[in-house]
Structure 1
Amino acid sequence: MLSFTGGHYIYDYVEQRTSYPGFGNKMLRKELLDQSWHKPGDNASYPRALFGYEVNSGGTVDYQRSGLHTKFLHKGDYVRLRNVQIGYNLNSAPIKKLHVQNIRIYASLYNLWLYSPHYKFEPEGDAYRGSYQLPQTRSYTFGANFTF
């Protein structure tokens, strides 16, 4: 079974939180060292790394200048191969000599493949903390059913 969705976005809260120094109470991205703005004319991926947050004159945090913006929005589209089931029935004469009418051998495979343009996310996670979530578990089940 394939499942898919498209047209929505995921906010990368982890990237946002680690892209601004704030008050020095969090880990920062390595990219801030060489890809942040330093002087006029720099073409940088990240704004200048400053200690603290940009604060309005009223004392409130200015989130427009402190990180909450579309830079950290990523397409949440994906296609997932959710499950595959295969089986085979053995009901030939040699099986019947063992006093068995039928043997069914099967395999069930779950979460085999995922295509997502943004590799860091579990795309079925919530849109705000998608990058915090672990990927869905891949599992395999093999078995046999005997009919006497």
Structure 2
Amino acid sequence: MKTVLILGAAGQISSYLIPALLQQTDFNLKLYARNANNRIKVTDPSRETVIDGDFNDKDTLNQAMDGVDAVYLNEMRDLDSVKNIVAAMDANHVRQFIGATVLGIEDEVKGAFGQWNTSMIESSITKRIKTAKVIKDSDLTYTLLRLAWLYNKDGNTNYELTDSDQP
């Protein structure tokens, strides 16, 4: 059975991801977050393990990687954190990475909406371009999710797949 480490497991996106993974897969989940024991409610103790840690706590991060098949990072804004995560993945021979980032890091949004998007979150885009480069320059197999504007509407899981390596 596969094990997925969810970093930032107390976040909004993870609050949708965790129940979906529990329902749609047989994966075990390691749920990693600051103050995790106070912020995460386990619904399936046989498949969920809560880990209280910080991305800069290298010992806890390395321990969390033990036995993991894939890592999902809920937030890619902090450069040092992403570097620590990649180092821990390398040290523990974890190869699969999925990271949530923002729309616009590949200058993929054209026209008026692209201009508006950039004007609204330019500093976020700039930070995440740097963290995405850390992932791209690693030897990890990765997927970078470029999330559009999120809003709370249960059941709305629309998405579009793109390949940034294509012209």
Larger Rg: 1
Q: Which has the higher helix share?
A: 2
Higher relative contact order (CA 8 A, sep 6+): 1
When the two structures are superposed, what TM-score results if normalisation uses the length of structure 2? 0.23
Q: Which has the higher strand share?
A: 1
